[in-house]
Structure 1
Amino acid sequence: MPALFNAKGAAALAATPAIPAGTAPAKIDPLMLVDPELREGAELILSRPLPDPLDHKAILAMRQGVPPPAAPLPAPAPAIEMRRIPGTKGQPEVSIAVIGARRDGGNRPAVLHIHGGGFILGRMQDTFVASQQLAEELDCVVVEVEYRLSPETVFPGPLEDCHTALVWLHANAAELGVNPNSIAVMGESAGGGMAAMLAIAARDRGSVPLCYQVLIYPMLDDRTGTTRRVPPFIGTIGWNEAGNAVGWSSLMGVPAGSDRVPSGAVPARTSDLSGLPPTFIGVGAIDLFVDENIAYAQRLIAHAVPTQLLVVPGAYHGFDFIAPRSRASRTFIASWKLALGAAFRDRAAASG
């Protein structure tokens, strides 16, 4: 086994429980539930299933097989500035990208964006174009963070990378033309799960006052697919139960669904959600994460956190990236952008 493979991650990945066959009696073809405009993308995803087994060798092969990222948008689109910032004590430097910064003494809002990939895949360059568009549309600064992937780095390493980037953004707000009281966190899938973890950590540490969190089909609960099963027609297009078990086991250094997991690693297992920033959660109705996302939204509401939940009929994991021009995707993207923009305007009004 490669030396770069963290021992805890290796043990947890090897011990990842096998997913037993579903017990739900209904035999429903998942494609029959897909929005017609999303069906072509669904068929493409199904033609490229996750490796079985999804072990370390397969993970490395998937990383190496990813095509180059799209070229960033040229000027006058918001510029991208690459930086290396010091890590927290005992942690390495962190690579970030600052998009749309202005050194004109402005007072604009900012977003710390965290990419997805099941905690085992992904790179910040893959979302540069989307972040340039967001920076332009909402007149904000976007900071992307290249957190360390698992299983090479187990929790809390990836979270510390994200927290380092958030603290840096807040501390350097004046230089970047950012209002330090108008910073949001955002992510998709595992990035959404990391954003939720980060919001909890920022609250608990009293480090950065967040004004909003945008959680796009976030990966929130390690028990999904292990000790908590989903109906067989959910979570079959894209990220599935087996992949979820591997991703969480790789991050935590213990098998997904264990009785005890590292404190702060699993947002759904956090008992107190009070004091978190207002939240948008969006997910497809046949996404693996639909149940855990609805449950998290309900718990946020129960803890007096202003929360908007959007469940998209006929939508699977990552549908908005696969079919961005579909009506479902355009409505979905517009919804979270409207919510984030409103949060920024409310904070600007409160700041006078």
Structure 2
Amino acid sequence: MAASPHSLSRVATLLEAKALRFVFNHFESRPPTSKPSLEHIVHTSHGPTRILIFFPQGYSKDCPVPYPVHLDFHGGGFIFGYPEHDSLACRLISDHTSCVVVTVDYLKAPENPFPQGLEQCFDVLMWLSSSDDNGGVRMLNIDPERVSVGGFSAGANLAAAICLMAVQRQKQRVNVDSGNSDSTPSSSTTSAHTSAPQLRIIKQLLCYPVLDLATPYAQKLARTKEPTKSIPQGLVDLYVHCYLPVEEDRSNPLASPYYAKLDDLRNLPPAVILTADWDAMADEADTYAQRLESAGVSVCHKRFEKTVHGWTHFAQGKQEPKQEAWRTLCDNLREAYEGIRGVIAGSSWEVTQPWMGTSQLI
């Protein structure tokens, strides 16, 4: 029997994504990486996943005061990239905020489309917050009440979605505890952690986030100041088709947090949202920041002029915007951690590491 046009299109998309992933992972110039303090395998509802763990200077597992923890998600358009891509960023955040940083090698599309990678990331968050013998709290000496999440580009999408997912799970828990029979998740996603440990996300760091995957990218390019400096349309269209092959899913708030309801936004943690002036996806992030503020969420929002998508990770370009971005991220994290438990000493601030390659990612 002949293959359907849909199945042939899906095969073509798979081959194109695999080719792009191979080129990026093997031929793109890579930066020097900062060696993690530890690698670990977390068993999730979608199989085992590798995480890299970065301890701050002077870390001790026997410290009487548990450390705050930041969970990071790298970019790569949902189809390529790996946690080592953020290793310098993780080291910088860890050393400047005295927190443990964990970055995740989550499942990639198109082999694993939405919501598989997202659910895997959420499972890692649940593991970090677990006080079981094999959970992150005891293994890493971390404080489940001082948890932050963040990411870059597609990773920022995952971070924002995880905050929304945490709100959904909390509502489900309340419904179950109150005996409300209508406790069905509002999303099609499921997780192995339906009776998850209590956790508190106290900050979300969203760097040039991709938040609206339903609006055609061509429309975004038409509105941007410098369309030639944005990610090419063909790449973004490929990312979207790989991650969200079912068109109806593209407006699901867990895929596109831009479409979250106001009631869900009200319960989100304070946010830091950084956008690039020459990025076709900046407007949706700027609007999301405004919606969060309208919902009563504290937001630190900065739009960096004459910068492109991914500027924080590029070796070339002016250093001042990078310094300001990293200072903003680390200062906000320190304030959040100290606001819960004032034990973190301040530190001098300067980024001296060489940064990433030349490719724009989402």
Q: TM-score range by the shorter chain?
A: 0.7 to 0.9
Q: Secondary structure at the match of 1:165?
A: helix
1:12 offset after TM fit, Å? 9.8
1:10 and 1:250 in contact (8 A); partners too: no
Q: Report the alpha carbon displacement of residue 236 of structure 1 after superposing the two structures with TM.
A: 3.0
The amino acid that maps onto 2:169 is: R
Read off the aligned partner of 2:311 and give its amino acid letter.
F
The CA deviation at 1:111 is 0.2
Paired position in structure 2 for 1:63: 25
Query: Residue 185 in 1 paired to residue 149 in 2?
Result: yes
Pair 1:102 & 2:57 matched = no
SS at match of 1:236: helix
Question: Cα distance 1:317–1:146, how it changes in 2: closer, same or farther (>3 A)?
Answer: same
- The superposition leaves residues 317-347 of structure 1 with CA deviations (integer Å, 9 ceiling, x where unpaired) of 1112214761121112211211111111112
CA distance in 2 between partners of 1:291 and 1:54 (Å): 29
Say if 2:161 and 2:253, in contact at 8 Å, map to a contact too: no
Q: CA RMSD in A?
A: 2.8
Whether the 8 Å contact between 1:115 and 1:190 is mirrored in structure 2 is yes
Distance 1:270 1:227 in 2: 23
Which of 274, 292, 311 is equivalent to 1:282?
A: 274
Match of 1:252 among 227, 240, 244: 244
Shift of the 122–263 alpha-carbon distance from structure 1 to 2, 3 Å rule, reads same
State whether structure 2 residue 344 is matched by structure 1 residue 340: no
Q: Deviations over 1:130-165 (max 9, x none)?
A: 212211111100011100111111011100111111
Distance 1:169 1:58 in 2: 32
Shift in CA distance, 334/340, structure 1 to aligned 2, threshold 3 Å: same
The aligned counterpart of 1:174 is: 138
Confirm or deny that 1:112 pairs with 2:62.
Answer: no
Pair 1:54–1:12, CA change in 2 (3 A):
closer
Residue 92 (structure 1) aligned to one of 35, 47, 51: 47
**2:255 corresponds to 1:265:** yes
Name the CA distance, whole Å, in 2 between partners of 1:147 and 1:65: 21
Which of 330, 334, 337 in structure 1 is aligned with 2:323? 330
Query: What 5-or-longer segments of structure 2 have no aligned partner?
Result: 1-5, 131-135, 171-195, 344-362
C-alpha change, 1:233 and 1:55, in structure 2 (3 Å) is: farther
Query: What do residues 290-336 of structure 1 show as CA deviations (whole Å, max 9, x unaligned)?
Result: 10011100111111111111001111111122147611211122112
**SS of the residue aligned with 2:47?**
coil
Shift of 1:14: 5.1
1:132-171 aligned within 5 A: 132-171=91-130
Using structure 1 for the length normalisation, give the TM-score.
Answer: 0.77
| Residue of 72, 75, 81 corresponding to 2:38 | 81
Shift of 1:242: 3.1
**1:75-100 CA-partner distances (Å, limit 9, x unpaired):** xxxx5211111112xx2111111211
Contact 1:150 1:251 in 2 (8 A): yes
Q: In 1, Cα distance between the equivalents of 2:33 and 2:293?
A: 40
> Partners of 1:260 and 1:9 in 2: how far apart?
22
Residue in structure 2 matched with residue 45 of structure 1 by the alignment: none
Relative to structure 2, which stretch is displaced further, 261-270 or 197-206? 261-270
TM-score, with length taken from structure 2: 0.75
Aligned residue number for residue 158 of structure 2:
194
Which consecutive segments of 4 or more residues in structure 1 shift more than 4 A?
Answer: 7-10, 12-15, 53-56, 258-263
CA distance in 2, matches of 1:324, 1:80: 30
Structure 2 counterparts to residues 229-248 of structure 1, below 5 A? 229-230=220-221, 231=223, 233-248=225-240
> Is the CA contact (8 Å cut-off) linking 2:224 and 2:278 kept in structure 1?
no
Change (3 A) 1:70 1:305: same
